[in-house]
Amino acid sequence: MNLRILYLPHSLADITLQEDRSSPLVGEIQQMLIDHNLYHGPITNKYDAATSQAITLFQEEEKLPATGMIDGVTYCRLHQASISQITLSPITKRADFTLPRGNILITKSSRQLTLFNGNDPVRQYPVGIGKQATPTPLGDYAIALKIMNPGGMLGTRWLGLNYDSYGIHGTSQPWLIGTMVSHGCIRMHNSNVEELFTLVKIGTPVYIRD
């Protein structure tokens, strides 16, 4: 059985993930399906019959073609309906609030960005990272620049690091989140980077680990 990730317009080709291949993107989809109580298996990062059935149920709920396959519309709809499992208390959702002891951990192996307040995790987001030819650099950095609506491939927010031209930003290609695709920057869903943008300030530490 295959899972075809169908690119949205402007894409060049379909991605076909074989059942015996592993992809963090499939694991992200499985987690979102768990959030909707549609998938009850383990996070395997592999497409299987149970994952396909859960996708079909979600498509039926959303009145989309029930194919059991993830196309661009299904993926974006699934992501939009999923909220990070680690949530802030209501008092921290003011537009002018920044975490007093905020720090960011980016884990390349799991393609995840975790936002901490001190030692307490408060948000976790899936990310895209650098491809093998242009890897995301490991190290300890800090947020040095914040730009709203940088546009183009950078999506709706830019959080520049104090190292070369690397940064955390949104994307105009959300279906690539969870993959190794960038020139070294960290890509996030626009809705996620917009939230992160409001919670961090210039000088927030950023730790990038394998």
Q: Which residues are catalytic?
A: 169, 185
Contact between residue 53 and residue 68 where contact means Cβ atoms under 8 Å apart = yes
d(Cα 101, Cα 84) in Å, to the nearest integer? 20
Tell how far CA 110 is from the center of its chain.
11
CA distances from 54 to 4, 114, 148, 197 (A): 15, 27, 36, 33
Locate all alpha helices (DSSP H) within 36-189, ordered by sequence: 49-61, 72-80
Contact between residue 135 and residue 184 where contact means Cβ atoms under 8 Å apart = yes
